[in-house]
Structure 1
Amino acid sequence: MLTHLMTKAGQAVLTIFLASVVVFLGVRALPGDPAVTLAGDNPDPQVVAALRAELGLDQPLATQYVRYVEGLLHGDFGESVSSGQPVATMLGQALPVTLQLTLLTVLCGSLIGVATGVVAACRRGRWPEWAANGFSLLGLSVPNFWLAILAVSYVASVLTFLPTSGYVSPTQDPWAALTHLIVPALILSTSFAAIVMRQTRASMLEAFGTEYVLAARAKGMRETRVVLHHALRNSLVVVLTIIGLQLGALLSGAAVIEQIFGLPGIGRLAVRSVFSRDYPVVQAVVLISAVAYVLINLLVDALYTVIDPRVRVGGQP
């Protein structure tokens, strides 16, 4: 197992390196010039040239990349072109917001998705399965941004005790922080829960036909123990993979929801930075998203053997 994890860690480092190269080149392929943006309307060519030299944009790409990596190794993401603030400071303010929203979304979506998936599998061919499938279809079909707009209107007119925008830190007021995040988290969790539900149902149905489940039932074991201890536990390997992938997607894909609900997360920060041609901020946000994907997948690989003892490394029995 240790060898397997070391191999995976080496692959993760290589992936992060390649991601940094792609992010660096991709951001510089965007149309526009930060120096021209900073120079304002009708910029003087000399002013633009001076700004490019100050930002290091007049140097070869290889030199810029080396300086970029050196900064990353020292925890320096550079300074924002538009505000002059350290990018690390901006990320430190925005990242906790997105992490809280993401974790609450995963918690809600996992509980709803796994519960409805188990019910659908255990009540196959009955109305609970039809209801769960209908919920899954709606969750995958209806766009989150449309649900978010409807939710804002409903909360503002009916559930007035819930705020429709803004953010409060849990360290200041935990209850207020939860009320500000619960509605956007539930909106984000609709499609997430639908995917988890489908995978849980499919894995449970497959597990019900395996020999160990049939043997457990033949021994007279209680159905609740058969479902939870045998079928569900061995179905969680596939479900865990889906949750891990969706977690990475949520970290980088909550920009629209953050914009609608006024949450100062990294998605909203990335959108503003793209429009202002703020290279350092865009690079940092995209790279952090890529690193999150890699680390989450590495964690999922490590958890496989914890959830399912049958999983062995390198094909060993």
Structure 2
Amino acid sequence: MPRYLLKRLPSALLVLALASFVVFSILRLIPGDPASSLAGPDASAETVAAIRTRLGLDEPLFTQYAHWLGDLVRGDLGPSYAIGGDTASLIGDGLAATAQLTLGALVLVVLIGGALGIAGATARRGWVRGTVRAVTTGALAVPPYVTGVLLVLVFAVGLGVLPPGGHASFLDAPDLAVQYLLLPALCLALPSAAILGRYLKDGIEHALTEDYVRTAKAAGVAPRRLLWRHAVPNALPPVVTLLGMQTGHLLGGAVLVEAIFAWPGLGRLAEQGLTRRDYPVVQDLLLLLVAVFVVVQLLTDLVYAWLDPRIRWE
């Protein structure tokens, strides 16, 4: 495994380097000037120029890029332009809330997707298969912002069993934190759960048609044992790869879901940084998301190799 990790490290660093350049460049193409936003609409040209000099925005773009990378290597994210405070503290606070939402959604993806996949592959009654197909199709077809509104109308307004939005810490009030987490996590998880359920269903159905399964069935092996000891384990490797990819989608989708449910995570921070042209916050935040995605993909490959003995650590 160490050799495998060392082999993958250069490509991961290359992805991060390219991502840093793309993030830095795209932000400069967005209309608007941080100095003008900070100075206000009635500021003089001299005031705007002084702010640009203080922030280093009057330097050549390559120099600004080099300074930013140098600060990142030293672990110095610097101060925020417009939001206020230290960039590292702002991202750290938002990251804790977004990680909580993403992990909660990931648990629901595994539970709901696993149940849909197994039920769709093993159900003998047609109405069960039809229900699974309808649920997965609806979860994929309905946009998250519509799902979020429907969940709020049903569970918060209609039934009154869950809060419509907000956030609580698991350390301070775990029971309240679960209540705040359920609706946004479910909204975020449903599309990924539907995709995972379909992949798992197809994988189990394919495994159940293999010769060794038919031989075991003819020998009198119980259907439940065939399912859990043979079909499900053989269907897991591609599902694990898909789950790793969906983790990245969950991080990206959290931006919209956080806005719907007033969740104080990285999505709200990104929205504030973009509207106020806060380059340090947005740059570091986007690069962090890329880094998380790269790490998740690496861990996914490791788990895939652990599940599939045909893959060697090379």
TM-score, normalising length: structure 1? 0.95
Please say if 1:56 is aligned against 2:53: no
| Cα shift readout 1:201-254 (whole Å, capped 9, x = no counterpart) | 111112112233223323322211211121111111111111111111111221
Q: How far apart, in 2, do the equivalents of 1:240 and 1:118 lie? A: 15
Structure 1 residue aligned with 2:293: 293
Secondary structure, aligned partner of 2:30: coil
Identity of counterpart residues, as a percentage?
A: 39
Contact 1:255 1:268 in 2 (8 A): yes
Please say if 1:109 is aligned against 2:112: no
How much does 1:69 deviate? 1.0
Structure 2 residue aligned with 1:263: 263
Map residues 5-154 of structure 1 onto 2, 5 A cutoff: 5-123=5-123, 126-154=126-154
Please say if 1:226 is aligned against 2:226: yes
Q: How far apart, in 2, do the equivalents of 1:309 and 1:105 lie? A: 29
Contact 1:254 1:267 in 2 (8 A): yes
How much does 1:153 deviate? 2.4
How much does 1:284 deviate? 1.5
Q: How far apart, in 2, do the equivalents of 1:124 and 1:26 lie? A: 53
How much does 1:285 deviate? 1.5
Q: How far apart, in 2, do the equivalents of 1:122 and 1:150 lie? A: 31
Structure 2 residue aligned with 1:201: 201
Secondary structure, aligned partner of 1:254: helix
How much does 1:124 deviate? 6.1
Structure 1 residue aligned with 2:157: 157
Deviates more, 1:215-224 or 1:285-294: 215-224
Q: How far apart, in 1, do the equivalents of 2:175 and 2:202 lie? A: 37
Deviates more, 1:151-160 or 1:12-21: 151-160
Secondary structure, aligned partner of 2:163: coil
1:142 to 1:234, Cα distance in 2 relative to 1, 3 A: same
Contact 2:82 2:278 in 1 (8 A): yes
Structure 1 residue aligned with 2:173: 173
Structure 2 residue aligned with 1:279: 279
Contact 1:233 1:308 in 2 (8 A): no
AA partner of residue 196 (structure 2): V
TM-score, normalising length: structure 2? 0.95
Structure 1 residue aligned with 2:192: 192
Q: Which consecutive residues of structure 1, in runs of 5 or more, have no partner in the other structure?
A: none
Tell me how many residue pairs correspond in the alignment: 314
